[in-house]
């Protein structure tokens, strides 16, 4: 059976999408614990890196009540915009 490049990358992408789902179901992601709250927000920003923090700040300046969420908390070592080898977007 010959595997075509397109089929290979499609299955690779599907694995990348579903791997975090089964790890989360098994409780293996290691992020912040779930928090229940009855508060309401106008906007939710997911990711407290430089862009997420700026977006939340900007929305607050516009008068919105904003929730800023990050799996590892703000300004963490796993952020893509910190460290010696920064990720450029």
pLDDT tens digit sequence for 26-81: 455 556 667 777 889 999 998 887 788 889 999 999 999 999 888 777 666 666 65
pLDDT of residue 43: 93
What is the torsional sign of CA 36, 37, 43, 48? negative
Number of domains in the chain: 2
The answer on 67 and 37 residing in a single domain is yes
Claim to verify: residue 38 and residue 59 sit in the same structural domain: yes
Same-domain check for residues 25 and 53: no
Using alpha carbons, list the distances in angstroms from residue 54 to 44, 49, 79: 13, 8, 14
Residues 47 and 68 in one domain: yes
Domain of residue 22: give its range.
1-30
Residues 12 and 49 in one domain: no
**Same domain, yes or no, for 2 and 12?**
yes
The pLDDT assigned to 44 comes to 92
Return the higher-pLDDT residue of 19 and 69. Answer: 69
Q: Which helix (H) or strand (E) holds 23?
A: helix 5-25
Residue 2 has pLDDT above 80, yes or no: no
Tell me the whole-structure pTM to 2 decimals: 0.50
Contact 81, 54 (CB under 8 A): no
Q: When comparing pLDDT for 83 and 78, which is higher?
A: 78
Apex CA 27: angle with CA 73 and CA 9, to 5°? 90
pLDDT at position 89 is 47
Q: Cα–Cα distance between 12 and 3 in angstroms, integer?
A: 12
Is the domain of 18 the same as that of 54?
no
């Amino acid at each position: 059976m010959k595997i075509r490049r397109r089929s290979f990358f499609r299955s690779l992408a599907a694995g990348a999408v579903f791997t975090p789902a089964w790890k989360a179901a098994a409780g293996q992601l290691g992020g912040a614990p779930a928090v229940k709250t009855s508060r309401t927000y106008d906007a939710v920003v997911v990711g407290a890196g430089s862009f997420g923090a700026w977006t939340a700040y900007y929305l607050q300046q516009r008068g919105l009540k904003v929730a800023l969420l990050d799996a590892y908390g703000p300004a963490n070592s796993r952020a893509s915009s910190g460290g010696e080898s920064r990720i450029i977007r």
